[in-house]
């Protein structure tokens, strides 16, 4: 190549949120072509438009490969701070209208365990390539992403991703070679998005970028939850209150199933004398004992698993809300009150998990005891296990479960007086 890049200005300052600006670079190549790269910055939507113009002043037709390349250091500590707790760096791309997700550079620490912290992590060398109708390539943490977008008119793109032990990422999007006729020019537009993984903002890009926001198997549950939370947030302005409201709504929706479960558990309590008699009668014949117990259940029309029903119906909601808290930019650093200043992070002083555990103990005390002693012991251990489990869960998730327990206690207290 001949000469250096020439730039049309020394600096560009975007001082206010509404500012935008352009910078142009140009260079003459050894084969006679002239390349002009125009960068247009749009801070309001976190987009950089890059238009590459190739001018051919020669008398010969020229063919060249024009691609978009990202080369930069991967900041592991920042990615971990954004939610990549497993230290695995993730990237994704949209091919044939389907999102493909991968992890590159599995964590390597030279014998250090994860507790040593992200500062000791490095990326293992890796290399990956694919080709086809690739609409975008993206990498980043849970809440923010860098997205490379090729021209929308190009349907055949080669994607190349490389990484090395110095935490350097190289990603290239290469369309098929372009031909420039004599005395003609071509323009190829690219886009780079550097911003939050906000579904509305990504959708505005218009290349299916919103598909990057994924809540896993329970997306069908997570999206209505988020819709309701965002709806109430326009009034409350507090996501903690919104989580309380969604807890109440879900409790109301599942109220009939919960009521059936409580009634069935009451019936289970009534058959305990007969259960004890059967255990004594057939204590030396386990097969006969199980047969007689099943006949008893059938005769008295009770279901021994009905006590688990309220918890089972909460699992999809629980997982969906967990994924929403971990992947929704609106929840990042969202305060509730006092010491809870980030609903997507754990309670820093563990008060809400302890209160949640206490509500589980109260709920267990109010619940009719199980007929099976082993099952009863298991239920008594659950508050302890759940308390330890929830210590490091997002405080918003703990808040949801705690409110659900309080509502269950109130409902069960009412049923115990009525039944």
Domain match, 195 and 47 both: yes
Q: Can you give the residue range of the structural domain that contains 115? A: 6-209
Domain match, 163 and 235 both: no
Whole-angstrom Cα distance, residue 255 to residue 310?
9
Q: Is residue 300 part of a domain?
A: yes
Q: Is residue 99 part of a domain?
A: yes
Structural contact between residues 42 and 49, judged by C-beta atoms closer than 8 angstroms? yes
Nearest to 5 by CA among 35, 41, 49: 35
Whole-angstrom Cα distance, residue 270 to residue 268?
5
Whole-angstrom Cα distance, residue 67 to residue 69?
6
Query: Higher-confidence residue: 246 or 332?
Result: 246
Q: Is residue 82 part of a domain?
A: yes
Q: Is residue 214 part of a domain?
A: no
Domain match, 84 and 224 both: no
Secondary structure (3-state) at 39? strand
Where do runs of H (alpha helix) occur along 111-206? 199-203
Positive or negative, the CA dihedral 80, 83, 88, 90 is negative
Secondary structure (3-state) at 86? coil
Domain match, 247 and 201 both: no
Q: Is residue 1 part of a domain?
A: no
Q: Is residue 305 part of a domain?
A: yes
Structural contact between residues 68 and 50, judged by C-beta atoms closer than 8 angstroms? yes
Whole-angstrom Cα distance, residue 16 to residue 362?
54
Q: Is residue 125 part of a domain?
A: yes
Query: Higher-confidence residue: 389 or 2?
Result: 389
pLDDT of residue 375: 62
Domain match, 264 and 326 both: yes
Backbone angles phi, psi at 392, to 5 degrees: -105, 10
Domain match, 243 and 380 both: yes
Domain match, 142 and 23 both: yes
pLDDT (tens digit per residue) in 356-372: 999 988 887 776 655 55
Instruction: Evaluate if residue 394 carries a pLDDT over 70.
Output: yes
Domain match, 113 and 146 both: yes
Angle, vertex CA 317, rays to CA 311 and CA 318, nearest 5: 70
Domain match, 293 and 153 both: no
| Per-residue confidence band for 49, with pLDDT thresholds at 50, 70 and 90 | very high
Domain ends where: 209, 243, 264? 209
Query: Higher-confidence residue: 135 or 217?
Result: 135
| Per-residue confidence band for 311, with pLDDT thresholds at 50, 70 and 90 | low
Domain ends where: 144, 178, 209? 209
Instruction: Evaluate if residue 84 carries a pLDDT over 50.
Output: no
Domain match, 268 and 200 both: no
Q: How many domains does the chain have?
A: 2
Domain match, 178 and 254 both: no
Whole-angstrom Cα distance, residue 322 to residue 310?
18
Q: Is residue 112 part of a domain?
A: yes
- Residue 181: which CATH number? 2.70.98.90
Q: In terms of DSSP bridges, do strands 168-175 and 89-95 run parallel, antiparallel, or are they unpaired?
A: unpaired
Domain ends where: 168, 184, 209? 209
Residue 74 CA: distances (Å) to CA of 286, 337, 343: 61, 34, 27
Domain match, 406 and 262 both: yes
pLDDT of residue 93: 92
| Per-residue confidence band for 242, with pLDDT thresholds at 50, 70 and 90 | very high
């Amino acid at each position: 190549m001949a000469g250096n890049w020439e730039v049309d200005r020394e600096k560009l300052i975007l001082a206010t949120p509404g500012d935008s600006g352009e910078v142009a670079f140009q260079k003459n190549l050894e084969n006679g072509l002239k390349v002009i790269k125009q960068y247009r910055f749009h801070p309001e939507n976190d987009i950089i438009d890059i238009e590459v113009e190739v001018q051919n002043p020669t008398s010969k037709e020229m063919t060249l490969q024009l691609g978009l390349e990202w080369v930069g250091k991967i900041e592991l500590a920042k990615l971990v701070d954004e939610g990549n707790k497993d230290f695995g760096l993730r990237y994704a791309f949209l091919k044939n209208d389907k999102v493909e997700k991968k992890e590159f550079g599995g964590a390597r620490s030279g014998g250090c365990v994860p507790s040593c912290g992200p500062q000791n992590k490095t990326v293992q060398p890796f290399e990956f390539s694919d080709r086809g109708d690739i609409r975008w390539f993206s990498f980043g943490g849970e809440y923010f992403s860098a997205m490379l977008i090729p021209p929308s008119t190009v349907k055949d793109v080669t994607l190349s991703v490389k990484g090395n032990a110095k935490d350097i990422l190289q990603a290239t999007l290469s369309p098929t070679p372009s031909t420039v006729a004599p005395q003609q020019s071509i323009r190829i537009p690219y886009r780079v998005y550097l911003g939050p993984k906000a579904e509305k903002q990504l959708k505005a890009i218009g290349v299916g970028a919103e598909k990057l926001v994924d809540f896993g198997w329970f997306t069908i549950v997570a999206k209505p939850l988020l819709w309701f939370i965002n709806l109430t947030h326009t009034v409350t302005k507090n996501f903690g209150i919104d989580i309380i409201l969604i807890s109440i709504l879900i409790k109301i929706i599942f109220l009939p199933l919960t009521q059936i479960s409580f009634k069935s558990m009451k019936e289970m309590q009534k058959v305990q004398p007969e259960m004890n008699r059967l255990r004594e009668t057939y204590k030396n014949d386990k097969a006969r004992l199980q047969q007689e117990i099943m006949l008893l259940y059938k005769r008295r029309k009770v279901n021994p698993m009905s006590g688990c029903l309220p918890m089972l119906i909460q699992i999809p909601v629980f997982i969906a809300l967990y994924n929403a808290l971990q992947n929704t930019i609106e929840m990042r650093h969202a305060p509730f009150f006092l010491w809870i200043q980030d609903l997507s992070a754990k309670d820093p002083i563990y008060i809400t998990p302890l209160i949640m555990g206490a509500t589980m103990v109260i709920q267990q005390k109010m619940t009719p005891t199980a007929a099976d002693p082993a099952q009863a012991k298991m239920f008594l251990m659950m508050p302890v296990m759940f308390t330890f489990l929830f210590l490091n869960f997002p405080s918003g998730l703990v808040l949801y479960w705690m409110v659900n327990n309080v509502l269950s206690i109130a409902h069960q207290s009412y049923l115990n007086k009525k039944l």
